[in-house]
Structure 1
Amino acid sequence: MASVLGDSAATGVALPWRLTDRSQQSQAGLATALLGLLRLGGERLTATALEVLLGNGALLERFGLAAVDGPRLTTLLQTAGFRWGLDGQERGGGRQHSLSWAIDRILLGLVLPDQPGLALGDAAPLAVAGSLESQGSGLQLLLSLRRWLLRLRQPRTSGSWGTLLVELLDDLFGEGGERGWERQAILAANDDWVRSAGETSLELGAPVVAAVLEERLSVDSGRFGHRSGALTISALEPMRAIPHKVIVLMGLDAGVFPRQKERPGFDLLERQRRLGDPSPADQDRYVLIEALLSARRHLLISWSNRDERSGEELMPATPVRQLLETLGQRLAGGASALTITHPANPLDRANFLAQPPRPSPSCDRRLLDALRLLEQGDAQMTLPLALREPPPQLRRSRR
């Protein structure tokens, strides 16, 4: 969004805009790290998943590390030979190239001399720059993650999970610092889940707990920032029933809208639907109607009408197509008078020509300058991919 709306050099106009309704999972904070750890508690640990976890700012700050230390730890683990797996049990036998084995190599390299053939068990010391004190914070983080991943692999009841999650937050994140508000939200969601689960004895795995917390933490946090006087970019649902002079609905492609949420197989709503059961598809249709009623002057609906690979024509979402058919029956010009098909090429001349009463589709000055350059005679010549020096025509144009 920033590259489109914040590029005043291309449009010549400074457009104030505001992005709201960002959930806590959309930012690399406490919730992202916690949910990532819980998911890894039931999945195979890979180098990619651990790299994402080590890039979390909230986790690094707790151990006194900077943002650049995350990639440094990832490189150190790769040098030590870590590929996948938490330990030998997860790898099905030998623990070589597991996280535990790589950490042992790093620790041995800090306390033992770098001598060929020197090894303790199956781990040979890795020559590491610096001392144990200088590498202490990073190693403490790695050891803490290994310890918690081992604990998260054990199924527990909801009450046991609630106690364990509080302990995890205290150990890996402390009070949260500037993200203390996020910690409070996580604790509130955790308490609410434990309270609703009651005294059930059903044991759950870590990924199930992650799904439960993710659903409870997905409540939008920016629901009150829509009347800011700027261009407001938000999800369709929280914007409903708020009147605006101009409303733009983007990305209403077939297959994307309305949403078709897949529920797990053990969900009772999948067996037999009853009157009053929630339906994301019906909810999206209702929200679309409210968005239509909220538009006071202009309403713009966009969708992708061409496949990006084959060029095949694509249809809009079913509710949009039904709306166009209804309007086409009531308007003299039909639905074609309301539909605008933009050229696929951003340098097409039609993008910069006004079609009264509509202005030109594009207002990008840089693209307009590029089009004018292409239409000049000097720009029509064929140039190789690489030149030692500019051709005479371009040298003259620079002067």
Structure 2
Amino acid sequence: MLEKKTLELEKVVLVGIINQEQDEEKSKEYLDELEFLAYTAGGEVGARFTQKIDIPNPKTFIGSGKIEDIKHYVDENDIGTVIFDDELTPAQQKNIEKILKAKILDRTSLILDIFAQRAQTSYARTQVELAQYQYLLPRLAGLWTHLERQRGGIGMRGPGETEIETDRRIVRDRIALLKKKLEKIDKQMETQRGNRGALVRVALIGYTNVGKSTLMNVISKSDVFAENKLFATLDTTVRKVVIGNLPFLLSDTVGFIRKLPTQLVESFKSTLDEVREADLLLHVVDISHPNFEEHITSVNQVLDEIKSADKPTIMVFNKIDNYEHQTIDEDDLVTEKTTKHFTLEEWKNTWMNRMGDTILFISALNKENLEEFRKKVYEEVRKIHITRFPYNNFLYPEYEEGF
């Protein structure tokens, strides 16, 4: 009789800092996200540690007293992994590991690990491997001290520190090889995009875990993997969609996240090309998330980096079925009303009002307001289409209910 295997979660501890750039509330929010990342990677958070520090310690990132607190907890609770919310230098990572005698990760290496787990196609795996090697290269000096405990790395083992220069050359050669491989695939994908004809291209973009894949499934009646974890989708999925009698191409792209590793932005260039070459963006936002405004800012920053911020965009506020707001009693004369107390209607009268009719509120999961969504997408695609093909605009009339 076969034994049923249960997934054993790895015990982890999170470490964050409070400084001028991120106050206590912001630090808590980042650690909430880091905990979700750890859970996605297969970890169970035992404790969180934060420290107020203006300038990170060049040797151990945080102060010696806080390191001792963490060491005590790690030893007492048999913790195998400690995850820092900010990127550590190779020296900091090595020094902390010597003190704590545990595996030390930072946000970048954690995200890379999740991407490695989630990569399904050869192309996605190549992209992730390139990002991993680029992250690994400056950290080779301390690699051999923890390889045995990690039981693997990225397919490299060595006899000791004397081999570092040899291994650096091996890694650089591997990076060059992977870049050539990606260039070749990028050209193939560019040709594929060129061969899609003159159909209008629409790209779903947004922060990770906002419901893009669920929306993709609803619109295109396809079966794209969707899950309540971060980075459920890595590979770009493109579907031909028809609303009314108007066809267009819809692509689902990898989700963005704050502090996205630069190695990933570079290696996922082709995925971002889908956004660059899109005629219309559907910026999906999880309005039920308390910090959705910051998510919008993070996505807009990436759009700015890839010179796509000025594209026609429809803001799609998803998960209205999960939206909750705090209420204030009429007798409460102390509590100041903030955005936490806003109803959806009140939100619509804020900065959102300035966006005019390029804004929608839906629930992709419960299929709420999808008729309004279909109508708006049809209208925007039609505008682009008749500009491109003015001679056949009579084929696509104004949107009608039940199209």
Normalised TM-score (structure 2): 0.28
Structure with higher strand content = 2
Normalised TM-score (structure 1): 0.28
Higher RCO by CA contacts (8 Å cutoff, separation 6 or greater): 1
Which protein has the larger Cα radius of gyration, Structure 1 or Structure 2? 1
